[in-house]
A and B are shown apart, each in its own frame.
Chain A
Amino acid sequence: MKAFTYERAKDARGAAQAAARPGAKFLAGGTNLLDLMKIEVETPTHLIDVQDLGFDKIEKTAEGGLRIGALVTNTDLAADERVRRDYSVLTRAIVAGASGQLRNKASTAGNLLQRTRCPYFYDTNMACNKRKPGSGCAAIGGYSRQLGLIGVSDKCIATFPGDMAVAMRVLDAYVETIDPAGQRRAIPMADFHRLWGDHPEQDTVLKSGELITAVTLPKPIGGKHFYEKVRDRASYAYALVSVAAVIQPDGTGRVAFGGVAPRPWRVEAAEALLPQGAAAVTARAFQGATPTKDNAFKLPLATRALASVIAQSKA
């Protein structure tokens, strides 16, 4: 870990301004950033601790949805009565992730900003365009069982590893931010995480200093909610494939996949095929996929996991 300076922000705009300087990073729960700093995958020179900014409430919006403060812990979000009742795909996704201890500490914004778990990203002796732009990608041609197969590029085949965001994508959530100039914007979850392209070092569309203040959920959409997470062990593991879905009584619905791409993978044209069954959906959703030998199983797995969800929705 490299030495760094530290400040505790008093207000959101001030935090954003402080974060605009090179080498600065926001610190919330720290469950991912601090681990990465210990092994020098992340080497910020300045941390801006945002824990005093007060974004720790879940409130109703005028539109009938919920505004989730950026600092609401994963535990509190999953346990919120309104979330459990109206957005249970989100509760299911959150409790499928990490451990109780981590969820107690991890924040809503931090969860969205967690970095990939590609093993080559974690080993600083290995080439990694995401960690060190231009250095190459050791994962391509390497051990890629966990890695991505769609939306990836010849520069990076990492995945976004989270669960919560997959559910938020299905719920059409927005990420609310403030920038150093005090400007606020709301970014659709669909656009929040970038596809790697030539710049895998940029995980999201956030600009320099831009601070997440909240995530908003539109008003409830009803339906049955599912989060099917497939992994080698029963808990405390990243998804090989996950399926977040909201299925309506008529068999239509929404579906997004985790563990396959740089972002929660939802293709609206594919989910429109839900009444035709899982294979039709995934054939469309994963059109153009570029799996490796190690992770090609994720394609049939995604189909079968979705088939499981559809079967449960009919039960």
Chain B
Amino acid sequence: MKFDTPAGQNPIDRMQVVGRAMNRIDGPLKTTGTAPYAYEHHAEVPNAAYGYLVPAAIAKGRIASIDTRAAKAAPGVLAIVTAQNAGPLGKGDKNTVKLLAGPDVDHYHQAVAVVVAETFEQARAAAGLVRVDYARGAAQFDLDQALKTAPLTGGSSGEGSGAPAVDRVGKFEQAFAAAAVTLDQTYSTPDHSHAMMEPFASIAAWNGDELTLWTSNQMINWGHEDLAKTLGMPKEKIRFMSPYVGGGFGGKLFLRTDAVMAALGAKAAGRPVKLALSRPVIANNTTHRPATRQRIRIGAQKDGTITAIAHESGSGDQPGGSPETAVNQTKLLYAGANRMISMRLAVLNLPEGNAMRAPGEAPGMMALEIAMDEMAEKLGMDPIAFRIKNDTQVDPEKPERRFSQRELVRCLNEGAQRFGWSRRNAKPGQVRDGKWLVGMGVASAFRNHMNMPSAARVRLGQDGVVTVETDMTDIGTGSYTIIAQTAAEMMGVPVEAVVVKLGSSAYPVSAGSGGQFGAANSTAGVYAACVKLREQVAQRLGFNSADAVFQGSKVTSGNRAADLKQAAQGGELVGEDKIEFGKLGKEYQLSTFGAHFVEVGVDAYTGATRLRRMLAVCAAGRIINPKSARSQVIGAMTMGVGSALMEELAVDTRFGLFINHDLALYEVPVHADIPHQEVVFLPEVDDKANPMKAKGVGELGLCGVGAAVANAIYNATGVRVRDYPITLDKHLDKLPAVA
């Protein structure tokens, strides 16, 4: 199905199943521990041996020698694979750095070897006996140093964000110089780790030259293709499966070393092998969100009209890597006649930087939305009024392009009313509650919506059961449920009559999970397949498919009616199709909007910040399942609090690693940090997006939260911190004296 004109009335608009706050259909499996995650396919693979990774002990250099004799002689050891005996390996298209070191080492904890043994304990013990000698090479680990000579670059996150090297509209420098009120500030965000709950894990089983892989991956087709490329074998010989994923946040968009090393280990051992990365290895072995250094300049007239806006960002990555596209939202979020954005990319020998939830916008909004707060204060304006003053209904770079929907102003106003914004004291450092300095902050929320082709197959069985097959993944988001809702709505059956099968390369290629594009696109693909199936049903029943109504497990056309399952009496019916997108997404700018409101208390003595309450108001097209969408948004808000207050991969610039590489020292919020969250979805349908009239929302919930927290802290203390995370040490010396 080609989607190239705005969606008209369609069966989804009935909203009998879609749009309802439904519990997850996979909930009982998860709460009883019976949903098999990547490491848990015991039934399919009862005889797996265990792999354990040997990670590189240096960040950059060369493996001088590997001595595996002691490890080989250890109890239970079946095989040891290193680059020396792995055979020729390719590199996946989506991997910047190869997944097995040797002879060169590209980053700390890059895989050097896998040890396969009868038991997990034996593999782990033997891995400790592999002796590797290294020769360290020259390297650059310091972003600030490297950015001094880094070139301009364009780039894309590959999942919804991108920008050219330099993007100019009008004459920024002249307009900025002439502006009545100006801001010129720099902001920094640190490296972030995805820190998802389920570690990277895979089970590999060979049958002759055919490989079956269970893994934990957000994008089945990307992983499938890159595994084939890495192993140098035809894709058709690999089955690649991820039926359940315990979180990914972008870290599992790509093929990672657990899959490759499990496959190599299984081949060498002649046994299926399961391999999980231990927690201390994950931060450096896998990808991370790169740190940024951002400069923002805003010039405005005295009435608050922005006349000049510039956003420059620098980040670093491995050779051949890509920038963190932190300037992306600044192209679209606010009006202003004269604009300039640019990015620089430094070469660093830290682990590979790559996408993490809302790549680009997440760190970009952390900077831009502080800058807007600072500018509002300079103008003597309320920060909401300043944002509304500079709202635009068209792409500021290409005014002929309208936003398909843009309800930013309504989000801000609705949120202000619900949150009690009028009670905020505009003068910072004024509100006290016992020992707490109390402040409120606001930020816009913005994240682009991305169209992605997505295919599905839908079967109608003789028993009337509707079965959906697509390689879409459920990474904890609720994909199973919203796909069931979509098929139930389209086929006129209750959700209980729908079976959803996901996460296998045996199924049609979907959008996958990433860039908040999963829900809208994968359900649109299921919609397309259901349209095909409905035509077959009508045809089989001899009904006119154009006016057939699917409702209550029946099909009616004119004065004729039949049970849906009657259509399958002569044999199962199968509809398969793919949603594809025309130029609507170019003619219109598809984006999602919202507003984040935060109230914090800052301990007047210690400077520690504790969240008091937060609210997100989102306008993101049709909400397919308000319950799972809310879960996405509150999870994202929590992640935003983490980025504002605590999350930071600490770089040791001498040795080139993230030294706080476990969950004791890389802190993410715990329950006690998040006392109160509220989420409001404005009613919206976006007929330019897809037949579901839905857009993404899972990353919108993150974009802006960090700045809203930062602005609330400033409102509480009167001390502005522009360097995330805003830990107490960054403002302690400027807080009022207490002793």
Partner-B contacts on A (CB < 8 A): 1-3, 38-40, 117, 119-120, 122-123, 125-126, 138, 141-143, 145-146, 228, 230-238, 240, 277-279, 297, 300-301, 303-308, 310-311
Q: Are B661 and A123 in contact (CB under 8 A)?
A: yes
Q: How far is the CA of A66 from the CA of B593 in the complex (A)?
A: 61
Q: Would you mind naming 5 contact pairs between A and B with Cβ atoms under 8 Å apart?
A: A1-B121, A40-B128, A146-B665, A232-B667, A233-B670
Q: Which residues of chain B in 240-288 are interfacial with respect to chain A, using CB atoms and an 8 Å cutoff? A: 278, 280
Dominant SS at the B interface? loop
Dominant SS at the A interface? loop
Q: Are A234 and B665 in contact (CB under 8 A)?
A: no
Name the one of B280, B661, B729 contacting A297, with C-beta atoms under 8 angstroms: B729
Binds A, one of B151-159, B385-393, B649-657: B649-657
| Residues in B neighbouring A234, C-beta threshold 8 A | 610, 670, 672-673
Which residue of chain A lies nearest to B738 when distances are taken between CB atoms in the complex? A307
Contact with A along B665-705 (1 / 0, CB 8 A): 10101111100000000000000000000000000000000
CB within 8 Å for A236 and B738 given contacts A123-B661, A301-B728? no
- The minimal Cβ–Cβ distance linking B235 to chain A, given in whole angstroms, is 37
Which residue of chain B lies nearest to A303 when distances are taken between CB atoms in the complex? B739
Contact with A along B702-739 (1 / 0, CB 8 A): 00000000000000000000000101110011010011
Q: Are B670 and A142 in contact (CB under 8 A)?
A: no
We find that the number of chain B residues with CB closer than 8 angstroms to chain A is: 45
Q: Is B435 an interface residue (CB 8 A)?
A: yes
Which residue of chain A lies nearest to B435 when distances are taken between CB atoms in the complex? A308
Partner-A contacts on B (CB < 8 A): 57-58, 75, 121, 124-125, 128, 278, 280, 435, 603, 605-608, 610, 645-646, 650-652, 654-655, 657, 659-662, 664-665, 667, 669-673, 725, 727-729, 732-733, 735, 738-739
Which residue of chain A lies nearest to B55 when distances are taken between CB atoms in the complex? A125
Q: How far is the CA of A310 from the CA of B732 in the complex (A)?
A: 19
Which residue of chain A lies nearest to B668 when distances are taken between CB atoms in the complex? A233
Q: How far is the CA of A143 from the CA of B735 in the complex (A)?
A: 25
| Residues in B neighbouring A126, C-beta threshold 8 A | 655, 659
Name the one of B435, B650, B739 contacting A143, with C-beta atoms under 8 angstroms: B650
Q: Are B669 and A233 in contact (CB under 8 A)?
A: yes
Name the one of A2, A145, A230 contacting B606, with C-beta atoms under 8 angstroms: A230
Q: How far is the CA of A311 from the CA of B737 in the complex (A)?
A: 13
Q: Are A230 and B435 in contact (CB under 8 A)?
A: no
Q: How far is the CA of A10 from the CA of B364 in the complex (A)?
A: 62
| Residues in A neighbouring B727, C-beta threshold 8 A | 232
| Residues in B neighbouring A305, C-beta threshold 8 A | 605-606
- The minimal Cβ–Cβ distance linking B347 to chain A, given in whole angstroms, is 22
Which residue of chain A lies nearest to B663 when distances are taken between CB atoms in the complex? A236
| Residues in B neighbouring A277, C-beta threshold 8 A | 739
- The minimal Cβ–Cβ distance linking B434 to chain A, given in whole angstroms, is 9
| Residues in B neighbouring A307, C-beta threshold 8 A | 605, 738-739
| Residues in A neighbouring B667, C-beta threshold 8 A | 232-233, 237
| Residues in B neighbouring A237, C-beta threshold 8 A | 667
Q: Are A233 and B673 in contact (CB under 8 A)?
A: yes
Name the one of A117, A123, A297, A304 contacting B605, with C-beta atoms under 8 angstroms: A304
Most chain B beta-carbon neighbours within 10 Å: one of A2, A146, A236: A236
Q: How far is the CA of A134 from the CA of B35 in the complex (A)?
A: 49
| Residues in B neighbouring A233, C-beta threshold 8 A | 645-646, 667, 669-670, 672-673
CB within 8 Å for A278 and B739 given contacts A117-B665, A301-B729? yes
Q: Are A119 and B605 in contact (CB under 8 A)?
A: no
Q: Are B606 and A304 in contact (CB under 8 A)?
A: yes
- The minimal Cβ–Cβ distance linking B239 to chain A, given in whole angstroms, is 32
CB within 8 Å for A119 and B669 given contacts A38-B124, A278-B739? no
Q: How far is the CA of A120 from the CA of B662 in the complex (A)?
A: 12
Q: How far is the CA of A138 from the CA of B653 in the complex (A)?
A: 12
Q: How far is the CA of A310 from the CA of B739 in the complex (A)?
A: 10
Which residue of chain A lies nearest to B608 when distances are taken between CB atoms in the complex? A230
**Given A240-B728, A308-B435, 20 more pairs with CB closer than 8 A:** A117-B665, A119-B661, A142-B652, A143-B652, A230-B728, A232-B646, A232-B667, A232-B727, A233-B645, A236-B670, A236-B672, A238-B664, A297-B733, A300-B733, A304-B605, A304-B732, A304-B739, A307-B738, A310-B739, A311-B605
| Residues in B neighbouring A39, C-beta threshold 8 A | 278, 280
- The minimal Cβ–Cβ distance linking A151 to chain B, given in whole angstroms, is 21
CB within 8 Å for A2 and B610 given contacts A232-B727, A297-B728? no
Q: Are B671 and A235 in contact (CB under 8 A)?
A: yes
| Residues in B neighbouring A122, C-beta threshold 8 A | 280, 662
- The minimal Cβ–Cβ distance linking B528 to chain A, given in whole angstroms, is 45
Name the one of B58, B128, B662, B738 contacting A304, with C-beta atoms under 8 angstroms: B738
| Residues in B neighbouring A236, C-beta threshold 8 A | 670, 672
Q: Are B280 and A308 in contact (CB under 8 A)?
A: no
Q: How far is the CA of A39 from the CA of B605 in the complex (A)?
A: 38
Q: How far is the CA of A278 from the CA of B278 in the complex (A)?
A: 44
Q: How far is the CA of A311 from the CA of B434 in the complex (A)?
A: 11
Q: How far is the CA of A120 from the CA of B670 in the complex (A)?
A: 25
Name the one of A120, A303, A310 contacting B659, with C-beta atoms under 8 angstroms: A120
Most chain A beta-carbon neighbours within 10 Å: one of B673, B738, B739: B739
